[in-house]
Amino acid sequence: MFLDEAIKGGDVQALFQARRWTTSGYQLANIGIMQRDPYKALVYGAALRELLDPRRAQQIGLANSKLLSEVGAERAEAARREGEALRAAYFAEAKPIDALTDDNATDAADCWK
């Protein structure tokens, strides 16, 4: 799968998208592109730690509380370890992504200028 290859290539945005899609599932024209997988979402979330701007980190933190209750403490800890290993293997040299420069988000303060 293209997304897996992008993640193995150290693409932080691909990792972020995989995290989003495994949190809720992703379909295109009724074709399941990525199934909802709370465990994998926690793995990707752990790998993203320190690679996100504060806004995105907060979004993941809020979603994680729901995911943790679904997988249980033992699997959540295993997901954390797996995510840290993923980050070490493919993202050791990665630069953090910034929502204000890479997703066309507008700072509300700019609207008043």
Read off the pTM.
0.79
Domain coordinates in residue numbering, the chain: 2-98
Nearest residue to 23 (alpha-carbon basis) of 56, 60, 54:
60
Let me know: does 8 contact 94? Beta carbons within 8 Å: no
pLDDT at 97: 79
- Alpha-carbon span 109 to 100, nearest angstrom: 12
pLDDT digits (tens, 9 = 90+) for 10-69: 999 889 889 988 988 776 656 656 788 999 999 999 999 889 888 888 888 888 888 999
